[in-house]
A and B are shown apart, each in its own frame.
Chain A
Amino acid sequence: MREVARRPAGLFGLIVICVLLVVVVAAPLVAPYSPYSQDIVHRLEGPSAHHLLGTDELGRDLLSRVIFGARIALGVAIPAVLIAMFVGMLTGLISGYVGGATDQVAIVGMDAFQAFPAVILALALLAVLGPSLRNVVIVIGVALAPGYARVVRAMTRAAKQNQYVEAELSLGASTTRIAVHHLLPNIAAPLFILIAMDIPSAIAIEAGLAFLGLGVPPPSPSWGALLADGFNYVLISPWAIIGASAALMLTTLGFAMLGETLRDVLDPKLSGTRRWRKK
């Protein structure tokens, strides 16, 4: 972790995430107003002393809506990614370790899922399940799962070749024990990177869904919803779009930088050779 903080990109990412977490947890304290309280008289105003970001078409304080939007963003993204990770990991482990017909079937499945762009897939599933917070989380999780499954499968297959797997087998270890004790810890590291990179994806998907009107139902201040609503009034008062976009952008950037830094740090370094230059 220290290594990550040492690099500027990583530091940026860590700061963004910390701020985000604070905002999410302490939203009611941080936000000046409730995101739902309307004040039609003062609709579509620009930034002012009362409303730092201005108001939306129903007079709701934009800053508060953006702040509470963070809750939805992370509240959807984190569980979704966790679901994706668990489902993907389980599938990948079994598929990679057992191999054979099971593996073949799983691959075809993964291919099928990944053939659809995530948003389209999510759309289709939501159309079937109906829009709600819970369903959005599930749907995004399912859309992202094959990514994990593939990575875990590839790494399991590689790890399986290691001699220590054979050694454990010869001592009598069961498949479960090998998978859990010996394979899993060795493939965990890259998964963290994936997670860091996928959270912004999940947020983006949710925002996309919300923009299309299929996300978490109104009046929830999802950033995507803010974008959708603000879209109609952009010429009059662009602040909704500016606020939501800035929030989205910063969050995505933060996680992405963290992810990249993590990847750089965890990559095996050439021992000490990087700093030396030939005279």
Chain B
Amino acid sequence: MTAALMSVEGLEVVYHTDAGTLPALSDVRFEVRESQIVGVVGESGCGKSTLGAALLRLLPPNGEIVGGRVMFEGRDLAGLSAGELREVRGSGIATVFQDPLTSLNPTFTVGQQMIDAQRAHQEGRASKQVLRGQAIDALTRVGIPDAARRIDNHPHEFSGGMRQRIMIAIALLHEPQLLIADEATSALDVTLEAQILKLLKEINATHGTAILLISHNLGVIAEVCERVVVMYAGRAVEEGDVFAIFDRPLHPYTRALLAAVPSPQHRGKDLAAIPGRVPSLLALPPGCKYADRCDHAAPVCVEREPASLEVAGSRVRCFLYDDGVPVADRPRADWAPELMPA
């Protein structure tokens, strides 16, 4: 039984703005086991990017973690000092972002940037030759051809797909146990995206690196992840095994999301678009945040927020499965009667 590598418990993050305090994340909990690939999926405004930034405390100046813990290797990342956090970043947890062009410094060669990254975590001073050799190895491992020569190129001399590989190579320099990929393939063409996803899977298989994949693309999530966390309005509304989520989604939002994806099977028919809009974080309703768009909403859904419950191996935040609510007030649905309290 693999242990939990990272455990997010009740994470709460807010943004302070002129217009008020935005509750970007509320009571988010999930865990990533060693060598596991976990996906975080949701639409815009759901908080997945905030989550990616918050884990390593890379939030913008007006963002703040106001509650919960991020346990990694027995320590709470949310409470670490800047120095301790710097140790974790890069060597324990590494991140790859969406746009490699802005993540890489255009004025330095790739080799220089990689050596810089290596030096950031060196206790002793390894020679430049050694570091360079390690960098060339890393580039070759991620599939950059002719790495020994290309290490002296500048970022703009590489194509987008190559740059993303370089970012992954840099992220892997210190053999992190967890790699956070925040929309890492969203800017890439389909064939290149597939290459990068394959690379990530290989890294997971050979190095045992756990991966937290944040994406809005359900297809990517289905292709790569073992477990999935579905987010809506800053909350984790469903979490479970990937097959469970796609075959037997429990939360009405997950079901609606899956039904709205276009495919050849839907030809000639209307797609099931979800009516209404994501609520503004400035004006969140008191009860379940999805209630106003949900087909099954009952009075209790509008009054209070559902708790996160364990149902058949997944976690769901929905009153449909809550036996603490009297039948009369509870919402009803017919898709998995055996899981819903009588």
Contacts and interface: CB of A to CB of B under 8 A. Distances in A.
Contacts of B19: 271-272
Interface string A253-275: 00000000000000000011101
Interface string B15-51: 0111100000000000000000000000000000000
Of the candidates B61, B62, B64, the one having the most CB atoms from chain A within 10 angstroms of its own CB is B62
Nearest to B19: A272
Nearest to A279: B64
Decide if the interface of chain B is mainly helix, strand, loop or mixed. loop
Contacts of B124: none
8 contacts: A271-B17, A271-B18, A273-B16, A273-B60, A276-B16, A276-B61, A277-B61, A278-B64
B250 to A, nearest CB: 37
A35 B228 CA distance: 85
A275 B17 CA distance: 9
Nearest to B20: A272
A276 B19 CA distance: 13
A275 B21 CA distance: 13
Contacts of A273: 16-17, 60-62
Q: How many of chain A's residues touch chain B, expressed as a range?
A: under 10
Interface in B1-26: 16-19
B61 A278 contact: yes
B81 to A, nearest CB: 13
A272 B17 contact: yes
Contacts, number: 20
Contacts of A276: 16, 61-62
Contacts of B17: 271-273
Contacts of A278: 61, 64
Interface of B: 16-19, 60-62, 64
Interface of A: 271-273, 275-278
Closest 10 CB pairs of A and B: A272-B18, A273-B62, A272-B17, A276-B16, A276-B62, A273-B61, A271-B17, A271-B18, A276-B61, A273-B60
Contacts of A275: 18
A142 B70 CA distance: 64
A273 B60 CA distance: 9
A158 to B, nearest CB: 19
B64 to A, nearest CB: 7
A234 B334 CA distance: 99
B19 to A, nearest CB: 7
B116 to A, nearest CB: 26
B64 A272 contact: no
A272 B18 CA distance: 4
Of the candidates A271, A276, A277, the one having the most CB atoms from chain B within 10 angstroms of its own CB is A276
Nearest to B59: A278
Nearest to A277: B61
A273 B19 CA distance: 10
Given A276-B62, A277-B61, 18 more contacts: A271-B17, A271-B18, A271-B19, A272-B16, A272-B17, A272-B18, A272-B19, A272-B62, A273-B16, A273-B17, A273-B60, A273-B61, A273-B62, A275-B18, A276-B16, A276-B61, A278-B61, A278-B64
Nearest to B60: A273
A277 B16 CA distance: 10
Contacts of B64: 278
B333 to A, nearest CB: 40
Contacts of A277: 61
B213 to A, nearest CB: 29
A277 B18 CA distance: 13
B253 to A, nearest CB: 28
B323 to A, nearest CB: 42
A278 B63 CA distance: 9
A278 B65 CA distance: 11
Contacts of B61: 273, 276-278
B20 to A, nearest CB: 9
A144 B238 CA distance: 64
A273 B21 CA distance: 11
B273 to A, nearest CB: 25
A276 B18 CA distance: 10
A202 B17 CA distance: 42
A276 B64 CA distance: 11
A277 B61 CA distance: 7
B96 to A, nearest CB: 25
Contacts of B60: 273
A271 B17 CA distance: 7
B244 to A, nearest CB: 39
A277 B60 CA distance: 11
A247 B62 CA distance: 45
A102 B158 CA distance: 34
A272 B17 CA distance: 5
Nearest to B62: A273
Nearest to B61: A273
A279 to B, nearest CB: 8
B254 to A, nearest CB: 32
A271 to B, nearest CB: 6
A13 to B, nearest CB: 26
A129 to B, nearest CB: 48
A69 B17 CA distance: 49
A249 to B, nearest CB: 38
B26 to A, nearest CB: 20
B55 to A, nearest CB: 18
A53 to B, nearest CB: 49
A103 B99 CA distance: 34
Nearest to B64: A278
A269 to B, nearest CB: 9
Nearest to A269: B18
A276 B17 CA distance: 8
